[in-house]
Structure 1
Amino acid sequence: MLQIDHVTKTFNPGTVNEKTALRNVSLNLKRGDFATIVGSNGAGKSTLFNAITGAFFTDSGRIYLDGEDITFKKEHLRSRDIGHLFQDPLMGTAPHMTIEENMSLAYLKASYHRKSLFSSITKKDKAFFRSKLSQLHMGLEDRMDNPVGLLSGGQRQALTLVMATMVTPKILLLDEHTAALDPATAEKVLDLTKRVVAENHLTCLMVTHNMHQALDVGNRTLMMYNGTIILDKEGEERSHMTVDDLLEQFSIQAGKELDNDRILLSGKVEG
Structure 2
Amino acid sequence: MLVMRDVSKTFNPGTVNEKCALKNLNLTLKQGDFATIVGSNGAGKSTLFNAITGAFFADKGLIMLDGEDITYQKEHVRSKVIGHLFQDPLKGTAPHMTIEENMALAYLRTTTSKNAYFSRIKAADKKKFREQLALLDMGLEDRMKQPVGLLSGGQRQALTLLMATMVTPKILLLDEHTAALDPATAEKVLNLTKKIVSEQNITCLMVTHNMHQALELGNRTLMMDSGNIVLDVSGEEREKMSVDDLLEQFAVRAGKALDNDRILFSKVEA
Letter in 2 for 1:141: E
Q: Name the structure 2 match of 1:19.
A: 19
Q: Could you say what secondary structure the match of 1:56 adopts?
A: coil
Preserved CA contact (<8 Å) 1:173 1:204 = yes
Normalised TM-score (structure 2): 0.99
* CA distance in structure 1 between the partners assigned to 2:129 and 2:251 by the alignment: 47
Q: Could you say what secondary structure the match of 1:117 adopts?
A: helix
TM-superposed CA distance for 1:257, in Å, is: 1.1
* CA distance in structure 1 between the partners assigned to 2:177 and 2:80 by the alignment: 20
Cα–Cα, structure 1 residues 250 and 58, in superposed 2: closer, same or farther, change >3 Å?
A: same
Q: Could you say what secondary structure the match of 2:250 adopts?
A: helix
Q: Name the structure 2 match of 1:50.
A: 50
Preserved CA contact (<8 Å) 1:111 1:167 = no
After TM superposition, list the pairs within 5 Å mapping 1:89-238 onto structure 2: 89-112=89-112, 116-238=116-238
Q: Deviations over 1:146-193 (max 9, x none)?
A: 000000000000000000001010000000000000111101100000
Q: Could you say what secondary structure the match of 1:213 adopts?
A: helix
Letter in 2 for 1:135: L
Q: Deviations over 1:1-30 (max 9, x none)?
A: 000011000000000000000010000000
Cα–Cα, structure 1 residues 84 and 103, in superposed 2: closer, same or farther, change >3 Å?
A: same
The answer for unaligned runs of 5 or more in structure 1 is none
Cα–Cα, structure 1 residues 115 and 216, in superposed 2: closer, same or farther, change >3 Å?
A: farther
Q: Name the structure 2 match of 1:39.
A: 39
Letter in 2 for 1:195: K
Q: Could you say what secondary structure the match of 1:223 adopts?
A: strand
Q: Deviations over 1:79-121 (max 9, x none)?
A: 0000000000000000000000000000000123597221000
Preserved CA contact (<8 Å) 1:108 1:115 = no
Letter in 2 for 1:248: E
* CA distance in structure 1 between the partners assigned to 2:258 and 2:202 by the alignment: 31
Letter in 1 for 2:215: L
Tell me the number of residue pairs that the alignment of Structure 1 and Structure 2 aligns.
270
Letter in 1 for 2:258: L
Q: Name the structure 2 match of 1:86.
A: 86
Q: Deviations over 1:183-236 (max 9, x none)?
A: 111011000000000011100000000000000000000000010100001111
Moved over 2 A (4+): 111-115
TM-superposed CA distance for 1:258, in Å, is: 1.1
Letter in 1 for 2:127: A
* CA distance in structure 2 between the partners assigned to 1:145 and 1:95 by the alignment: 12
Normalised TM-score (structure 1): 0.98
Letter in 1 for 2:4: I
* CA distance in structure 1 between the partners assigned to 2:267 and 2:101 by the alignment: 40
* CA distance in structure 1 between the partners assigned to 2:143 and 2:14 by the alignment: 52
* CA distance in structure 2 between the partners assigned to 1:113 and 1:101 by the alignment: 19
With 16-25 and 110-119 compared, the bigger mean Cα shift is at: 110-119
* CA distance in structure 2 between the partners assigned to 1:111 and 1:141 by the alignment: 24
Q: Could you say what secondary structure the match of 2:116 adopts?
A: coil
* CA distance in structure 2 between the partners assigned to 1:44 and 1:68 by the alignment: 24
Preserved CA contact (<8 Å) 1:81 1:169 = yes
Q: Could you say what secondary structure the match of 2:117 adopts?
A: coil
TM-superposed CA distance for 1:69, in Å, is: 0.2
